Amino acid sequence: LIQAALKTLLANPRVVRVETETAFREALNEDIDLIISDYSLPSFDGKRALAMARDLRPNVPFILVSGTIGEEAIDSLLAGATDYVLKHKFSRFAPAVQRALQEAGERKARREAEEALKKSEEKYRHLFEESRDTLFIASSDGNLIDINPAGLKMFGYSSKEEILRANIGRDIYRSARRWKEVCSLLEAHGYVEDLEVELKRRDGARLIALETTTVASNEEGNVKIFHGTWRDVTKHRELEAQFLRSQRMESLGSLAGGIAHDLNNVLSPIVMGVEILKEKHTDPDSMRYLVMVDTCAKRGANLLRQILMFARGVEGRRTPLSLIPVFEAADKMIRHTFPKSIEIVTDIARDLWRVSADKTQIEQVLMNLCVNARDAMPDGGRITISVRNEMDEKSGPYVVVEVSDTGRGIPPENLPKIFDPFFSTKQTGTGLGLSTVSSIVRNHGGFIDVNSVLEQGTTFTIHLPALHRGSEEVPVTPGPSDFPLGNGELILVVDDEAAVRDLVRTILSNYGYRVAVAADGIEGVAVYSKLRDEIRLVLTDLDMPRMNGAELIRKLERINPDVLVVS
């Protein structure tokens, strides 16, 4: 009867019939969709069969068929039977089977969906936890709901509980106004993608990130939560800024070098002309005005030298040098010239390694940094100068110079610009002090760092490559201070500035020399070729049109390898 009913209900049903407990247990191992059991069986009963089925195949529907109804029916349903059909009401059998199979199919589909969801959640959680970018979930008012470990690291929080107390607009964004702008974009478009934003670490340090955020809404369209990512691009942007700054400084250097060269050509005749006039006009009034003109011209020339040093990276005269006497001499000068309200503290190691350096330029570096420190403390303070050896495993030995002050500090927005030429926050000054320092340090193969905290002070740290121990300082023998008198020797002067040529010719003639002149390198080669047997020395400018000084020297050396040239 049951088999006939099943064939009517189902297409090609496969029916397995068992009568013993052993056979039933074996059948439970097969792929079955429905269990139908009589309550009374020869060797065991339906109650026992139900218990076995619930134990071994809990998801398979179980229908009991019995001739009577009583407490056993209720007990069976309570024990997990899907349905209970009386034999004398067998018309209920078909609906019971259909309902049982339908509910079983729904439960199976639900289980599969739950398992798929669980796997998806596990996969999402794994991606969430392991992502190197910061992933976050936040409420529409900016309160963080969840954030991954990368977020803790990025923002400098020690625990998840701590960062989840943060509000994006208040604690994550550097500007609450910018957060409101982003919220407006989210409301208008439902998402933002790769939007560059400025964030902050817990300690206040600036972060630059690319934000991608989407909005999750309910059926009514009300904003519920934000799902977003922050990708930290701070280092990338800093490298870009350094590159652009380097490009800008290179461009400024070229421009400044050209201007400085032209101005130098204007100042040189003035300086030389003053020297000639001093010999002709010796009365006190004339000398007073000439000294004033000479002083101003030389100040201008000194400024031009700083510009050219920045623009061209002038190397200077480098020798193996001990910095101890250099810094001791600077210490004495600073103590005598700086206000008494400024305390000077020095800590100079006595076993300093030598460096290959130009003494004058190192003195200039130290004085520029100390003057900056003094100007940062108008009401007094402390300047600390320390010099020590430092061995870097990768880069080798360095002599490290630190100049610290307790002044006002440098605003964070100005730090990237302090080494730019012509940048200054002072009412007076050229803006070349720190750019010159940076240029000198770079040209010595070193590097300079700065650390500054507002209202606490600033520290400049310079690393200069040290020489091997035992390098001796080569003494420099000063030459005679008086210009040597000539005896009719012929000197060739090559310069594209007519005023410079005329003044040099006048000065040399006054000292007993004969002078030939040329307006550029090509003319210089022609004059030298014609008078090579008479010319004893060539004075040449380096920057000239058509043929510059360096090319001129190479041409002259081909004509006469022993030619004497001063450039």
Handedness of CA 515, 521, 522, 528 (dihedral sign): positive
Beta bridge partners of 229: 135, 212
- Cα dihedral angle (335, 337, 339, 340), rounded to 10 degrees? 40
SS3 229: strand
C-beta atoms surrounding 431 within 10 Å: 15
Residue 205 lies in a domain: yes
531 lies in which domain range?
Answer: 490-566
Q: Provide the pLDDT for residue 174.
A: 92
Q: Note whether 105 and 219 are same-domain residues.
A: no
Taking the alpha carbons at both ends of the chain, their separation in whole angstroms is 122
116 found inside a domain: no
What pLDDT, on a 0 to 100 scale, did the predictor assign at position 197? 94
Three-state secondary structure call for residue 509: helix
What does the pLDDT read at residue 156? Answer: 92
Determine contact, residues 458/452, Cβ cutoff 8 Å: yes
Among the three residues 312, 335, 369, which one is the final residue of a domain in this structure? 312
**56 inside domain:** yes
For residue 253, the model assigns a pLDDT of 63
Q: How many domains does the chain have?
A: 5
**Is the residue at 480 inside a domain?**
no
Domain with residue 441: its CATH number is: 3.30.565.10
Residues 308, 327, single domain; the answer is no
Query: Domain containing 97 — which CATH number?
Result: 3.40.50.2300
Residues 81 and 421: their CA atoms lie apart, in Å, by: 89
Sign of the torsion formed by the C-alpha atoms of 63, 67, 69 and 73: negative
Q: Does 414 lie in the same domain as 515?
A: no
pLDDT of residue 117: 77
Amino acid at position 245, single letter: R
Query: Is the same domain home to 181 and 248?
Result: no
Same domain, 102 and 13: yes
Question: Do 209 and 167 reside in the same domain of the chain?
Answer: yes
Looking at the domain assignment, is residue 398 inside a domain?
yes
pLDDT of residue 310: 55
User: Are 323 and 446 in a shared domain?
Assistant: yes
**Residue 399 and residue 336 share a domain:** yes
**Claim to verify: residue 144 and residue 227 sit in the same structural domain:** yes
State whether 87 and 186 are in the same domain: no
CATH number for position 217: 3.30.450.20
Instruction: Give dist(CA 49, CA 21) in Å, integer.
Output: 8
Q: Looking at residue 313, what is its pLDDT? A: 53
Of 150, 181, 177, nearest in space to 163 by CA: 150
| 94 occurs within a structural domain | yes
Last residue of a domain, one of 204, 232, 260: 232
Residues 249 and 304 grouped into a single domain: yes
Does residue 298 sit in the same domain as residue 175?
no
Residue 151 lies in a domain: yes
Domain boundary residue, one of 232, 251, 285:
232
Residue 409 is assigned to a structural domain of this protein? yes
Per-residue pLDDT tens listing for the chain (567 residues): 677 677 777 777 888 888 778 888 888 888 888 888 877 776 777 778 888 888 888 888 888 777 665 666 666 766 778 777 777 677 777 888 888 888 888 887 787 777 777 777 777 777 888 889 999 999 888 999 999 999 999 999 999 999 999 999 999 999 999 999 999 999 889 899 999 999 999 998 999 999 999 998 755 666 678 999 999 999 888 888 777 766 666 666 666 666 766 777 777 788 888 888 888 888 888 888 888 888 888 777 766 666 666 555 555 567 888 899 888 888 888 887 788 899 999 999 988 999 988 887 888 888 889 988 998 898 889 999 999 999 887 778 999 999 999 998 888 888 887 877 666 666 555 556 787 888 888 888 888 888 988 889 999 999 999 985 544 444 444 444 456 788 889 999 999 888 888 888 888 888 889 999 999 999 999 999 999 899 999 999 887 888 888 899 999 999 999 889 887
